[in-house]
Homo-oligomer: A and B are copies of this chain.
Amino acid sequence: MADQTVLGPGATIGILGGGQLGRMLALAAARLGLKCHIYSPKGDNPAFEVAHMATPAGYGDTAALTAFAASVDVATYEFENVPLPAASLVEGHVPLYPPPAALEVSQHRVNEKTFFNDAGIATAGWLHAQTADELVELTAGRLGSHGAGGIMKTCRLGYDGKGQARVSSSDEVRRAWDELGGQDLIFEWLVPFAREVSVIAARAATGAVEVFDIAENIHENGILRTSQVPARISPSARRRAHEIATLALEKLDYIGVIAIELFVVETDAGEQLLVNEFAPRVHNSGHWSEAACAVSQFEQHIRAIAGWPLGDPRRHSDAEMHNLLGEEVNDWQGLAGQSDAVVHIYGKAACRPGRKMGHVTHLSPLRELSER
């Protein structure tokens, strides 16, 4: 059990990253009477507009990082690609949650798979070759036969389907190898999953864990489109998802919110779960919680890092969240006119194709009770 200062109203939370997740964290913190200081490289930083303080500076700017760390009571981050030296610098001055160890695991796909596999948690089968030739050899005779395929990914900095390529032959492996940069790539066997779900959970310094209801997710072109709660998932698979989340949180001595994406594979022995990846932060597939729970994932994260009691994550309504990508946000009037819709727009300055501009959550009465 970690020792943790309890931060009351008036204290300041530092957030590395100024995107929509930082913005939603800052809005949640404000409701608890906490201030936020956002640190993010110059650019379109929607979180700046709702925060008490903002520092537009790069992650290599040690003077700015030091001043930031000195101005806050606890620090966190809204994206997993915060450079480790920046995280370490901040942590030298002020507690940083989730622990940088979680950053380290999540920033490299080999670390990530190894972390889960070592904990007895299944993932898709994967290979980490040093060269294209080696990968071709390792997959020879299996790729393409009986429709088996793989997906090659950069080990670092991939998101929303970027840095990925599907492959089903040795030729495609070689081509993808070059296109993806020729080094530090992981190969994953494609999984014949029935559904994708995610589990979002929080751990407090006391060791207490609370798990939000499992969301069922639909991706398009690698980008999340919708999350629906309740998910279609068997009670035993749901229990296993809770177990996976709790195991990961404990193994990382975690404080804050974690999100774990899972494949549901239907087998003769029932639904089996394979971890796809995790994020050491609040997650797009948990945005529904803002509309359907007394305490959202954003508030839950703030509570955890500020030493507050975790909130009850049970939902009061069923929910279906749709991302508003690119120009879809321009239909805000139509969306706001729907009677069951909770509209959230991120206030980004520039609208680009595929960019996450907002989301809308449709609420409906509970069909079954939320499980705790």
A residues touching B (Cβ–Cβ < 8 Å)?
6, 8-10, 23, 26-27, 30-35, 49-52, 291, 294-295, 303, 308-309, 311-312, 314, 316-317, 329, 332-333, 336-337, 339-349, 358, 363, 365
Task: Tell which of B35, B336, B347 touches A30, judged by Cβ atoms closer than 8 Å.
Answer: B347
Q: Pull 18 A–B residue pairs with CB atoms less than 8 Å apart, ordered by A.
A: A6-B333, A8-B332, A9-B345, A9-B358, A23-B30, A26-B50, A27-B30, A27-B31, A32-B345, A33-B329, A49-B52, A294-B363, A303-B336, A308-B332, A309-B333, A314-B339, A316-B363, A316-B365
Q: Which residue of B lies closest to A10 (CB)?
A: B347
In the complex, chain B residues whose CB is within 8 Å of the CB of A343: 31-32
Q: Is the CB of A10 within 8 A of B349?
A: yes
Give CA–CA (A309, B339) in the complex, Å. 10
In the assembled complex, how far is the CB of residue A10 from the closest CB belonging to chain B, in whole angstroms?
Answer: 7
A329 contacts across to B, CB distance below 8 A: 9, 33
Residues of B within 8 A of A26 (CB): 50
Q: Are A50 and B33 in contact (CB under 8 A)?
A: no
Report chain B residues within 8 Å CB of A358: 9, 33
List residues of chain B with CB within 8 A of the CB of A365. Answer: 316
A347 and B312: CB pair below 8 A? no
**Which of B8, B333, B342 is A308 in contact with, Cβ under 8 Å?**
B333
Contacts of A8 on B, CB cut-off 8 Å? Answer: 332
A346 to B309 Cα, complex, angstroms: 19
Q: Which of B316, B341, B345 contacts A33 (CB 8 A)?
A: B345
Q: What's the least CB distance linking A12 to chain B, in Å?
A: 10
Please give the distance in Å from A207's CB to the nearest CB on chain B.
15
Bound: A339/B339 CA distance, A: 28
The chain B residue with its CB closest to the CB of A363 is B294
Q: Which residue of B lies closest to A362 (CB)?
A: B294
CA distance in complex: A294, B318 (Å): 12
Q: Are B31 and A345 in contact (CB under 8 A)?
A: yes
Contact A347 B35 (CB under 8 A): yes
Cross-chain contact A291 with B294 (CB below 8 angstroms): yes
Q: Please measure, in the bound complex, the distance between the C-alpha atom of A257 and the C-alpha atom of B309, giving whole angstroms.
A: 34
Complex: how many Å from CA A85 to CA B1? Answer: 60
Given contacts A8-B332, A291-B294, A316-B363, contact A31 B344 (CB under 8 A): yes
Q: How far is the CB of A264 from chain B (nearest CB, A)?
A: 28
Instruction: Give Cα A336–Cα B295 distance, bound, in whole angstroms.
Output: 10
Interfacial chain B residues near A339, Cβ < 8 Å: 312, 314
Q: Take A30-B27, A30-B49, A312-B340 as given contacts and tell me if A332 and B291 are in contact as well, using a CB distance cutoff of 8 Å.
A: no
**A30-B27, A329-B9 known; A337 vs B317 contact (CB < 8 Å):** no
Please provide the 6 A-B residue pairs with the shortest distance between their CB atoms, ordered closest to farther: A33-B345, A309-B337, A312-B339, A33-B347, A49-B52, A9-B345
Which of A9, A295, A341 has the largest number of chain B CB atoms within 10 A?
Answer: A9
In the bound complex, what is the Cα–Cα distance between A10 and B351 (angstroms)?
A: 12
| A35 surroundings in chain B (CB, below 8 A) | 49, 347
- Would A308 and B291 be within 8 Å (CB), given that A23-B30, A33-B345 are in contact? no
User: In whole angstroms, how far apart are the Cα atoms of A23 and B32 in the complex?
Assistant: 12
Complex-state Cα separation, A26 to B27, whole angstroms: 10
CA distance A291 to B35 in the complex (A): 21
**B342 in contact with A295 (CB, 8 Å):** yes
Q: How far is the CA of A14 from the CA of B46 in the complex (A)?
A: 19
B residues in contact with A348, CB < 8 Å: 33
